[in-house]
Structure 1
Amino acid sequence: MGQNDEITRRFWADNARFADILNVGIFHGKQIIKGSQLHSKDTYAGGLFGKLKKKVQIYGYRDVFKTADFGVNFALIGIENQQEIHYAMPLKVWKYDFLGYEEQLRKIKKMHRRKQDLSGAEYLSGFSRRDKLKPTLTIVLYYGKEPWDGPMCLADMLDWKAIPKEIQNKVVDYPIYVLDVQRFSGTEELCTDARLVFGFLQRHESQNILEQYVRDNQEGFTELEEDAYDMISILTNSQDLMPDKQEYMNERGEVNMCKALEDMKASAMQKGKQEEREQSIIILVESLRELDILEEDILRKIEEKYQLTQEEAAEFVKK
């Protein structure tokens, strides 16, 4: 529940991006969902289970959860963000989906109790033969450096050793949808600035390749939405290196990442030169000491050679 989680949630809360990643990542480029069909839903999922005096609360918070309206019906769709591999992900997704279905069931039962319109088996179920639950879908976005090697379904988590095939075939499975962002091949099909975020993340390990990508997409990176800039910053673990984004914002709140990267590169080069200079001074001081040269003479030599003040030179001699 830290800053990184909040940034990824805020980014995907945008309906256009949410629809974009579903259409490309799940539906293989088919425009199944439009941003205008999406509506934010409470991310809390929970319920009380057990007998009256021994109830147990099971709950959790989804990262992003929305309804997708299709005329007279709708589906429930969630996004879970993962920066690390989660080796129990099918159960985590299953819990959220189950709690969502359970919430729907509770509401339907409550409606029937108020109407008192059920009898027989329907009354015992609290659910009539005409009642239906809304379908739920969850997509996992994994941003990690290492390829996802976690389970892709519940069956991957089960110990099948010595279990007869006949039993295996009858056990209910629960597949999940994991999009491995750093290795996602559909990045260029994305229509929103998620394309720039994914493209940056996939190339940030190679400075030359990244710089070329930014140049090729200069227009987008020159006017990058603030939350997209934040996503790039936290997903590349460079939030401490990124310059203050306020310095690169225009009046619309867009960030000029091209200029920010140029300044970051210049700053890194300057820092590298400074560290190299300091290291050479330290080596010189150690060499002069090995020659048993007096401290005041060492001070004078490094002052003259590196154009230091007496105070600056004294700092190196102290080391």
Structure 2
Amino acid sequence: MGRKDVITREYLSSDEVFADVVNLALYSGKCVVQASNLSEVDSVEELAITMEENDSKEERGKNRQRTTQRKQSHIVQRYRDIVREVVIDGADGYLARIIVGVEEQSETHYAMPVRNMLYDALNYSGQVNGIGEKNRKSGLLVTSAEFLSGIRKNDKLIPVVTIVVTFQPEAWNGPMSVHEMLDWRGIPDELRKRIPDYEMLLLQPFDYKEEKVSNPQSTFGVIMGLLKYASSMEDFQKYVDEHEEVLSNMPVRAAAVLNEFCTLDLTEQELEKDEVIDMCQAVREMKEVSRREGRMEGERRG
């Protein structure tokens, strides 16, 4: 795992940041999920696949082989970046429960839709196995169909969703769904419609819209906005001025993310000195250096 990945995952692990990510990705920026609505979930997704394998053994004194079958379990494991269970007041007086995984990508991953689909499928499989184990222990399985599946007709699973977060200022240039990854040559539209798709939820600076965000709980939105305008000197400076209050009291983990993606060259000692850091000066100095370098390059070419 690279340095950027470690820093960004530490930042996204904060409940306040995680809640803002969920609100932006699932609720169009409305402040629905609070940090207090989150609880930790095991980040390991695994599936035990039991297969029957044949063993051939030659019997003594006989010119023949005996074939026996044995069951062999193979474990499929995948490690998510961050997972939380979200519980909020839902419709009709019910508590709404969902499991949310957040995957951080410092670079475009061209197989991300399939990867997310696997994460979610493994979680659903784990839920089925867990419910089945409880049903068997409690003697709740009655019909042959229930014994076959381990679950009853009215047993329900908790919805699972994966959100991909990237802090790279450049637009994500990979596929956004499994369908975008498939070779459709020669396949008619009628058949294409019947092949299941799996779409990806992505948060990135490139298409971040601050006006959609209400009552943020963390610095997540400010970081996304700052990175969005990093390539434009005028827009960048305007954004810094508008968010000076937040930037002048930036939590260390948030400052570390900006330090990596804006190349601010803050030292480890500076990042570890206090719990909050005044990033305004560091950000402005970085842009001033870029301005001077651009001017010098222009003079050399001129």
TM range (shorter): 0.7 to 0.9
Q: Do the aligned partners of residues 249 and 47 (structure 1) sit closer, same or farther apart at CA in structure 2, a change above 3 Å counting?
A: closer
Deviation for aligned residue 1:2: 2.6
Instruction: Give the 3-state SS of the residue equivalent to 1:68 in structure 2.
Output: strand
Report which structure shows greater RCO (CA 8 Å, sep ≥6). 2
- Change in CA separation of 1:248 and 1:19 when aligned onto 2, cut-off 3 Å: closer
3-state SS, counterpart of residue 11 of structure 1: helix
Residue 220 of structure 1 aligns with which residue?
246
TM-superposed CA distance for 1:170, in Å, is 1.6
1:116 paired to 2:139: yes
Task: Give distance in 1, aligned partners of 2:212 and 2:277.
Answer: 21
101, 105, 129: which one aligns with 2:128: 105
Contact 1:140 1:179 in 2 (8 A): yes
Higher helix share: 1
Q: Which moved more, 1:143-152 or 1:256-265?
A: 256-265
Alpha-carbon distance in 1 for matches of 2:211, 2:50: 46
SS of match in other structure, 1:260: helix
Cα 1:248–1:125 change in 2 (3 A) is closer
- Equivalences for 1:187-202 in 2 at 5 Å? 189=213, 191=216, 192-202=218-228
Structure 2 partner of 1:57 = 75
Q: State the partner residue of 1:29.
A: 29
Does the 8 A contact of 1:152 with 1:176 survive in 2? yes
Question: Which residue is equivalent to 2:57?
Answer: none
Aligned residue number for residue 235 of structure 1: 261
1:279 is matched with which residue? Answer: none
Tell whether 2:188 aligns with 1:170: no
SS at match of 1:148: coil
Aligned length: 268
After superposition, the Cα gap between the structure-2 partners of 1:243 and 1:124, relative to the gap in structure 1 and judged at 3 Å, is closer
1:132 aligned residue: 156
Q: CA deviation at 1:77?
A: 0.6
Please give the alpha-carbon distance, in whole angstroms, between the structure 2 residues aligned to 1:177 and 1:9: 17
Equivalent residue for 2:206, pick from 172, 177, 182:
182
Secondary structure of the residue aligned to 1:51 is strand
Alpha-carbon distance change, 123 to 169 in structure 1, aligned in 2, over 3 angstroms = same
Change (3 A) 1:248 1:73: closer
Q: Does 1:69 align with 2:87?
A: yes
Deviations 1:5-32 (A, max 9, x none): 2221121122222222222233223333
SS in 2 for 1:144: coil
SS at match of 1:151: coil
Note if contact 1:25-1:186 (Cα within 8 Å) is conserved in structure 2.
no
Structure with greater strand percent: 2
- 1:201 Cα deviation after fit: 0.8
* Paired residues of 2:44 and 2:79 also in contact (CA < 8 A): yes
- Match of 2:119, as an amino acid? Y
Structure 1: how far apart are the matches of 2:253 and 2:100? 22
Q: CA 1:2–1:250 in 2, change beyond 3 Å: closer, same or farther?
A: closer
Q: 2:181 aligns with which of 146, 151, 157?
A: 157
CA contact (8 A) 1:188 1:195 kept: no
Letter aligned with residue 89 of structure 1: M
Following superposition, the deviation at residue 225 of structure 1 comes to: 0.5
Q: Which runs of 4+ in 1 moved over 6 A?
A: none
The alpha-carbon deviation at position 215 of structure 1 amounts to 2.6
Match of 2:231 in 1: 205
- Structure 1 residue 3 and structure 2 residue 3: aligned? yes
Contact 2:248 2:278 in 1 (8 A): yes
Cα separation, partners in 2 of 1:18 and 1:220, compared to 1, 3 Å: same
The answer to whether structure 1 residue 141 and structure 2 residue 165 are counterparts is yes
Q: Distance in 2 between matches of 1:217 and 1:245?
A: 24
**SS of aligned partner of 1:50:** strand
| CA distance in structure 1 between the aligned counterparts of 2:2 and 2:196, rounded to whole angstroms | 35
Per the TM alignment, residue 127 of structure 1 is displaced from its structure 2 partner at its CA by: 0.7
Aligned partners of 1:104, 1:265: CA distance in 2, in Å? 50
| Identical-residue share of aligned pairs (%) | 29
Partners in 2 of 1:98 and 1:248 — Cα distance?
Answer: 39
